[in-house]
A and B are shown apart, each in its own frame.
Chain A
Amino acid sequence: MKNLIVIRNLALLFAVAAGVALWSGCGQQGAPAGKSGALSSSAAEKVYVAPGEKDEFYAFLSGGFSGQVSVHGLPSGRLFKIIPVFSVDAEKGYGFNEETKAMLNTSHGFIPWDDAHHPELSQTNGETDGRWLFINANNTPRIARIDLSTFETVEIVEIPNSGGNHSSPFTTENTEYVVAGTRFGVPYPQQDVPISSYAEKFKGMLTYVKVDPETGHMDIAFQILLPAFDYDLAHSGKGKSHGWTFFTTYNTEQKHSLLEVAASQRDKDFIAAVNWKKAEEYLAQGKYHEVPARYALNRYDDETHMATSTIKDKVKVLIPEECPGMVYFLPTPKSPHGVDVDPTGEYIVGNGKLSADLTVHSFTKMMQAIENESFETVIEGIPVLKYEDVVAGVVKEAGLGPLHTEFDDRGYGYTSFFISSEVVKWKVGTWEVVDRVPTYYSIGHLMIPGGDSRKPQGKYLVALNKITKDRYLPTGPELCHAAQLYDISGDKMELLLDFPTMGEPHYAQGISADRIIPRQKKFFKLEENKHPYAAKGEKEGRVERKGNEVHVYMTTIRSHFAPDNIEGIKVGDKVYFHVTNLEQDWDVPHGFAIMGANNAELLIMPGQTETLLWEPKAEGVYPFYCTDFCSALHQEMQGYVRVSPRNANVALKWWLGEEEPVQ
């Protein structure tokens, strides 16, 4: 095994050496340029959003291992909201209240955490439309949809036959599909086999999830069975290449141990080009295999204010050998990481992460090569095109460790280089490098609003960095992750701002605020509330017992609960507080917290109903209160529940104020 290291080429050794130097925090060439004093006062002016003013762009940053999405403003970098997606969030009761538990259901049961990587905005005609944001869960493969009128997660679909959902969700240009390519080969079907049977038993699945154009509802349309390569990243074609999706691969060596060496041997891996319109035709012709596959489909309804989880049991699988013309492999040097398509749809950029070059393929040349049937070889029914036939150009020695490319609207590409820790700007078509700027430190993804769509808005670029080292006040062993904002409107990129982020930001998306603001929901209309336990007025406030289950129909309005005194609860009861917020105004949530609750609080938006389960374990009188400072009388917004022994004879009663207790 050691011998393998020796035969690695010099460039790679240099690359790794540079990386190590960086990680140890020294040897950063050009570092002083970005240090204090380098920023001109005009940079400060460019990011200064005066008190009361609003940012020009929304930025949606993945929370990485936090499992969530954070919403920032650009150019200020200010954090507005953390949207819980794949991880429970006690603050919002997400995954704790009875309504949202189903959102985190999977074929493996309830999962309270995941690793969220790539936010992707919905598009219409290749342009971000501000309707939805999709994001993938890497660990237990899933795709979530966030509604940008409520900024809440409204749907999560699990991806079966997959392991490590990394090349996902990357929409098509009219949000026909979001995709999910498996990063880890897994046995197909999943079964107990020796790991060493990888080459024979393991497969790599690409999944196409259909998105309903009206409702946004997702479900799996079909899967495509491929060799057990590692499908790393993806982007769909646009314009002339609309109808295709490109997935990068690594580990085409199909190794399963010490991949850092074993999977870095080949000179070239592949970009898999999938003709999904062709796949649709085969699907229509019935050329699919319906195979058993358990996966959860979880939907949240804004009228019942409740999620439901459905377990599905089969998927349609297409096999390339039976479906000619559906998948091709494009040889691409050195374990390409990101694959990015320029705004015209002509150029497909493979960011060969273990090299210094970027390889750019031409869609036109690819189509020509397919027409000429000029194939190097065929792997499992998938023709491998010839590198020389498809390559359009190479951005030569641009930096070390290229990962991702985004585009502006002036014909330039911007590529992140992890090892040399910089962003490099190059011209599409001539492939010449025109500018470079350091990042602090080790940039992963980068983002330009609309930078992966047909209509980039090339004013700002956000670098999403992997480490911060000495950039911020230290916070113990774990330091913050951070993003950096660059002005790219001129010839030279200019660093404007550093700002910390939540979790580890992977990819991000940006969009003009004016595409989001008009969609905002200010509150939920009470008359549209279809929650089965809603109390739409104080008169509907009541307590009902069914055996040891107690249902409290409670309302909130500034500044009291109704009812706020409850007696007749017994030790061992399961008490469900169904709290309806009667407010009908923007920005007036109420909270609900009760002593001894083993879950979390409720944070109920106006017009919404949420339910907290409380199981009192000892007799006594327990206070509850509103947790969200709602008014001048917020501190008075409180109440009591009396808990009696299991065999007690205390009648069930409830009241508010000095009215006679209701029985």
Chain B
Amino acid sequence: MKRLPQILMLLASLLLAGLFIWPMWRITLVAPQYPNGVTMYIYINKIGGESESTLQNINILNHYVGMKPIVPESIPELQYFQWIVLGMIVLGLLAAIVNRRSAFLAWAVVMTVLAAAGLYDFYLWEYDYGHNLSPDAPIKIPGASYQPPLIGTKTILNFVATSLPHTSGIMAGLAIVLALAAWWLKGKTESDEKAPARRARRAGARVHAIA
């Protein structure tokens, strides 16, 4: 029980490793001609789909309305985000080793800021793809934009687009929760531990006073 906060912090940092295995976000496009939908998976370091050709197929669809092709190699975030995650795993492990409350909180705060920044960045990319359209687009609909939702469901022309966090994204969120839990529990157990010591000190003082 005494070690629980430390274990939680350890788990929190290890949960981030999921980002290297599973997608963190998914966007599914469903249309009458695509009854099973076309699903794009966003990983920390790549963009994938149900098959190797999903991205090509999405790009073919997008080009009708003048959206830029999604070329993962040209998205810098996919290159450097993984290093940040790796850093956070190391920092999380260090926090677990030093086993200090403040370290847990600091890690959780940094993670939250990074996650928020990541989501904002994701939104900016979505905005860019959805609004920055080629003037030569074969299909032009005045005033239309094709930005997919950040989270949730939205109708874009003949498609219903659904954007939701996926496995490793949820794991990263859980990591923040675990780190905060570690911080809170650590505070609780420390105050429980310190309480008898304080009583003892006070009792000692009284003895001195009598003497």
Contacts and interface: CB of A to CB of B under 8 A. Distances in A.
Interface of A: 523, 525, 557-558, 583-585, 631-633, 636
Contacts of A633: 64, 138
B64 A557 contact: no
A585 B64 contact: no
A557 B61 CA distance: 11
Complex A-B, nearest 3 residue pairs according to Cβ-Cβ distance, in ascending order: A584-B53, A585-B57, A558-B60
Nearest to A657: B136
A557 B60 contact: yes
B139 interface: yes
A632 B60 contact: no
A525 B52 CA distance: 10
A388 to B, nearest CB: 63
A584 B139 contact: no
A585 B33 CA distance: 13
A274 to B, nearest CB: 48
Nearest to A523: B53
Nearest to A582: B56
Contacts of A584: 51-53, 56-57
A536 to B, nearest CB: 13
Contacts of A636: 138
Nearest to B56: A584
Which label, helix, strand, loop or mixed, suits the secondary structure of the B interface? loop
A593 B79 CA distance: 45
Contacts of B57: 584-585
A632 B64 contact: yes
Contacts of B56: 584-585
A585 B50 CA distance: 11
B30 to A, nearest CB: 15
B209 to A, nearest CB: 86
A632 B64 CA distance: 8
A633 B64 CA distance: 8
A632 B139 contact: yes
Interface string B31-68: 00000000000000000000111001100100010000
A150 to B, nearest CB: 17
10 contacts: A523-B53, A557-B60, A584-B51, A584-B53, A584-B57, A585-B53, A585-B56, A585-B57, A633-B64, A633-B138
A584 B60 CA distance: 11
Contacts of B60: 557-558, 583, 631
Given A584-B57, A585-B53, A633-B138, 5 more contacts: A557-B60, A585-B56, A631-B60, A632-B139, A636-B138
Contacts of B53: 523, 584-585
A523 B60 CA distance: 16
Nearest to A527: B52
A592 to B, nearest CB: 19
Contacts of A558: 60
Contacts of B51: 584
Nearest to A632: B64
A19 to B, nearest CB: 51
A544 to B, nearest CB: 27
Interface string B124-166: 0000000000000011000000000000000000000000000
A562 to B, nearest CB: 14
A396 to B, nearest CB: 55
Nearest to B63: A558
A557 B69 CA distance: 14
Nearest to B51: A584
A72 to B, nearest CB: 23
Contacts of A523: 53
Contacts of A631: 60, 64
Contacts of B138: 632-633, 636
Interface in B71-86: none
A585 B51 CA distance: 9
A130 B69 CA distance: 40
Contacts of B52: 525, 584
